[in-house]
């Protein structure tokens, strides 16, 4: 049997004492991950942290089908200010290798500064940042030209720079309409995993370059190594070896970069591959792919949105089983629903119930999507919507219209604990009336922190083994600091 174990879609805390703390979520305090029986994300006061937020794509570098239709919103501070009003305390900040290293070995310092600007502004609004090296279907330079006359042409997407896109003349036409099925995409991944012309080493060096300039920020929660990687066309065992080696080398390089800059070690987020040889064949490598314990499994869930292989609940359980396989915490890096927000709100609530059940964090896909984003425009650039609504609405110029998806935002901004003392036991939160119940167990007095939206009346906090509570009014809601001890229960009502 091959040394790696694979999970396919068909496979269906120790007591932790809180140190003395300030009673606030402080983005100048580095977060870290633990594996094992107390798997989770923690702050420096030893509190279990729940991060909830959005994917933020304003710095992505996308293929553009129509030069008159924007592919994304431009960055502005007001985005982060508005996010904070909905209780968002984390963003998954997408960045593109193609823009970071447009020529091999030459790094775009202006782009790195843009990334740093977002990080610094996020800290002003108590928002943590996950840096995500994003790619879809390898990159923007694999798109079917009119001259190829495809029955099922492929759009371009985002990811690798032009110099690192080597397709060896393979066809850009998709075999089944799915973006990863194009032979050119498969061959580009194959060449990347084989490190042709040193391109994989260059990608790892690009990560190192970025880390050296961002590791000093404590509100950088961590690094998502590569979004939804696809694998090449050799045997699954060989491709798994290549992905594992990439993860090992990249983690080592990131740690070296952090050490060289005398900075903190941040959380490493890792994902499963989504395709093999262009086909939907998700799998993960062996549980011992790294000895680094500061890691979190970055799951993506689109069940009952894109895939119907599982229900929302069954898919969540399946992904959580993978996290348990690694003995790591799970963070849902992407999830979303894309039909009518009025009817999809029920799915959001079902998803939210699973999040609360497992005390997991997440970032919704996505804060905004412009009409020219490859997800929403036709291959020839002629078919697109004049407006596009994810959590906020953009027009064809990528400008915010002022309309918000309150159906989803009300679920995302529901009452929750940001920081929990001790071992979390039970969490129930109702987005329709703002009520919440948290049960946990701590061996030492400490302060739990709650976010409560202001859509309802002034909250009333009751429970058991509560020493004291303090309610602070903030933009969009309240932050409650609750001193607790022993087996405690916190109830939020109105």
Q: What is the pLDDT of residue 481?
A: 98
Q: What's the pLDDT score for residue 22?
A: 36
Phi, psi (deg, nearest 5) at residue 398: 80, 20
Residue pair 374/156 in contact by the 8 Å Cβ criterion: yes
DSSP codes of every residue in 6-39: ---TT------PPPS--SS--TTSPPEEE-STT-
Q: Which of 130, 146, 38, 43 is nearest to 92 (CA)?
A: 130
Q: What is the per-residue pLDDT for 385?
A: 98
Q: Which residues of the chain have pLDDT under 70?
A: 1-28
Q: Smallest Cα–Cα separation from 80: which of 93, 61, 71?
A: 93
* pLDDT in the model for residue 29: 72
Contact between 87 and 416 under an 8 Å Cβ cutoff? The reply is yes
Domain positions in the chain: 41-413, 415-494
Question: Which tens digit of pLDDT belongs to each residue from 134-184?
Answer: 999 999 999 999 999 999 999 999 999 999 999 999 999 999 999 999 999
Residues 6+ apart with CB under 8 A from 347: 304, 305, 312, 337
Q: How does DSSP assign 364-381, residue by residue?
A: ES-S---TTSTTTS-TTS
Candidates 3.10.20.600, 3.20.20.80, 3.40.50.460, 2.40.110.10; CATH matching 41-413: 3.20.20.80
pLDDT, residue 284, reads: 85
Read off the pLDDT of residues 335-372 as tens digits, 9 standing for 90 and up. 999 999 999 999 999 999 999 999 999 999 999 999 99
Q: Report the chain's mean pLDDT, rounded to a whole number.
A: 94
Residue 14, pLDDT score: 26
- Predicted model pTM: 0.94
């Amino acid at each position: 049997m091959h040394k790696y174990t694979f999970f396919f879609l068909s496979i269906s805390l120790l007591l932790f004492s809180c140190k003395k703390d300030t009673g606030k979520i402080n983005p100048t305090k580095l977060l870290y991950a633990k594996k094992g029986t107390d798997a989770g994300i923690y702050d420096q006061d030893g509190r279990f942290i729940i991060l909830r937020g959005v994917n933020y794509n304003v710095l992505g570098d996308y293929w553009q089908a129509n030069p008159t239709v924007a592919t994304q919103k431009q960055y502005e501070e007001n985005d982060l200010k508005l996010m904070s009003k909905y209780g968002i305390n984390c963003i998954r900040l997408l960045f593109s290798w193609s823009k970071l290293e447009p020529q091999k070995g030459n790094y775009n310092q202006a782009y790195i500064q843009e990334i740093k600007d977002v990080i610094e502004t996020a800290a002003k609004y108590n928002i943590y940042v996950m840096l995500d090296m994003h790619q879809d279907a390898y990159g923007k330079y694999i798109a079917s030209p009119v001259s190829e006359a495809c029955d099922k042409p492929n759009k371009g997407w985002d990811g690798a720079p032009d110099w690192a896109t080597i397709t060896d003349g393979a066809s850009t036409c998709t075999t089944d309409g799915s973006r990863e099925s194009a032979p050119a995409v498969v061959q580009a991944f194959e060449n990347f995993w084989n490190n042709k012309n040193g391109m994989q080493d260059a990608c790892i060096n690009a990560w190192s370059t970025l880390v050296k300039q961002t590791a000093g920020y404590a509100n950088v929660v961590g690094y998502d190594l590569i979004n939804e990687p696809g694998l090449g066309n050799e045997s699954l065992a060989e491709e798994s070896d290549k992905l594992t080696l990439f993860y090992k080398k990249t983690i080592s390089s990131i740690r070296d970069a952090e050490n060289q800059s005398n900075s903190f070690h941040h959380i490493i987020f890792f994902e499963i591959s989504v395709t093999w040889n262009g086909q939907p064949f998700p799998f993960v490598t062996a549980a011992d792919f790294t000895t680094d314990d500061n890691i979190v499994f970055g799951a993506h869930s689109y069940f009952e949105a894109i895939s119907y292989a599982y229900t929302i609940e069954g898919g969540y359980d399946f992904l959580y089983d993978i996290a348990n396989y690694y003995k790591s915490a799970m963070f849902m890096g992407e999830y979303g629903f894309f039909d009518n927000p009025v009817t999809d709100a029920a799915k959001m609530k079902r998803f939210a119930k699973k999040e609360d059940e497992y005390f997991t964090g997440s970032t919704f896909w996505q804060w905004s999507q412009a009409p020219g984003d490859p997800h929403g425009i036709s291959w020839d650039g002629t078919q697109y919507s004049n407006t596009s609504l994810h959590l906020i609405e953009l027009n064809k110029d990528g400008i915010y219209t002022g309309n918000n998806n309150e159906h989803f935002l009300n679920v995302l901004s529901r009452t929750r604990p940001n920081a929990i003392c001790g071992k979390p036991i039970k969490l129930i939160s109702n987005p329709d009336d703002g009520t919440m119940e948290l049960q946990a167990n701590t061996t030492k007095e400490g302060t739990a922190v709650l976010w409560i939206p202001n859509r309802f009346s002034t909250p009333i906090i009751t429970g058991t083994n509560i020493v004291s509570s303090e309610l602070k009014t903030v933009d969009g809601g309240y932050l409650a600091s609750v001193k607790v001890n022993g087996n405690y229960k916190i109830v939020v009502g109105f």
